[in-house]
Amino acid sequence: MQEALDDAGIKAGDVSYINAHATATPVGDISECKAIAKVFDGALDQLQISATKSMTGHLLGAAGAVESIVCIKAIEQNIIPPTINLSEPDPEIDPRLNFTPHTALNKEVTIALNNTFGFGGHTSTTVFRKM
């Protein structure tokens, strides 16, 4: 995520929304949340996160494309999609992270990140910005 921000010339505090990879696996979700907390440490109060796989399931090879469209639509419509069925985050996850539970949130989105992680360490973070 930090490399993607650096490549895009964007500061962590400028990001409005992250579509997390979030496959609901304890190891993966906790690791991703720790990385988000580290990269966005000083900007967590304004950052919204959601896991759209909670609504679509894991689309495997199509996940990155579909979730990129979600980020683009979030910017276009200023809506953070929800993480459905999230009642109680894992206690190992930083409580400062805002997961947008149950209901979409109307909020201006100027920059969104999409995390896509694959088997064997294939990872990418795509940055989208309002034009």
Q: What integer pLDDT is reported at residue 122 of this predicted model?
A: 77
Q: pLDDT tens-digit profile of 27-68?
A: 889 999 999 999 999 999 999 999 998 888 787 777 889 999
CA angle 34, 6, 61 (to 5 degrees): 65
The CATH number of the domain covering residues in 2-129:
3.40.47.10
Q: What integer pLDDT is reported at residue 55 of this predicted model?
A: 80
Spell out the domain ranges in the chain.
Answer: 2-129
Q: What integer pLDDT is reported at residue 103 of this predicted model?
A: 96
In sequence order, which residues have a C-beta less than 8 Å from that of residue 113 and are 6 or more positions away? Answer: 1, 4, 5, 15, 17, 18, 19, 71, 125, 126, 127, 128
Cα 35 to Cα 114: distance, rounded to the nearest angstrom: 14
pTM: 0.92
Q: What integer pLDDT is reported at residue 63 of this predicted model?
A: 83
pLDDT band at 129 (very low <50, low <70, confident <90, very high): very high
pLDDT band at 107 (very low <50, low <70, confident <90, very high): very high
Evaluate whether 21 touches 33 at the Cβ level (below 8 Å).
no
